[in-house]
Amino acid sequence: MVVVNDKSEIIKSITYSDDNVMDHFFKDLFQIEKEIFELNNFYMPLTMTEADQIVFDNATICHICKGPLDEKKVKDHDHKTGKFRGAAHNSCNLNYQVSNKIPVLFHNLKNYDGHLIVQGWGNI
C-alpha cells in the first residue's frame, strides 16, 4: 500500500507478505481513514487581519459560487488554520465541506491481487 498526500508525495509505503495480507491491508486502510477523519474534524476559530476585514467589507461576489452577495454575507474560513478565505453566502459556507472520503486506487486488479482484495472485502 502506498499513501500519498494532496501534493502526490508518498508519505507511507507498506508491504504485506504473510498469510493474512488482506486483514492487514484493511486494518491499515481503516486506520488511515480514522486519522484523516480526526484531521478533518479539527476546528480553529476565525482569525482575521485588517486587510481581511477590508476584503470582507467590500466583497460583492461569493468566493465559493461566484454569485452576487447581499447584505447577509458571512465570513468563510479554513477550520484547520483559522484563516479567512472570503465572503460567502451562508448556504454556500454551510455546504462547503472537506470530504472525509479517501480515494483508494487499485492497479492490476485483473490478476491475483484483485481476487484477494474482493475476497478480503467480503470478510470485513
What does the block give as the cell for 3? 499513501
Q: Are residues 110 and 75 in the same domain?
A: no
Q: Are residues 24 and 56 in the same domain?
A: no
Q: Are residues 56 and 32 in the same domain?
A: no
Residue by residue, pLDDT tens for the chain (124 residues) are: 777 777 778 877 888 777 788 888 888 888 888 887 777 677 789 999 999 999 999 999 999 999 999 889 999 998 888 999 999 999 999 998 766 677 777 766 776 667 777 777 777 6
Q: Are residues 60 and 85 in the same domain?
A: yes
Task: Give the number of domains in the chain.
Answer: 2
74-91: burial string, b at 16+ Cβ within 10 Å, e else: bbbbeeeeeebbbbbbee
Residue 87: give the domain boundaries: 50-95
Asked if residues 89 and 67 have their Cβ atoms less than 8 Å apart, the reply is yes
Give the pLDDT score at 4: 79
- Tell me the whole-structure pTM to 2 decimals: 0.55
Q: Are residues 34 and 54 in the same domain?
A: no
Q: Are residues 65 and 89 in the same domain?
A: yes
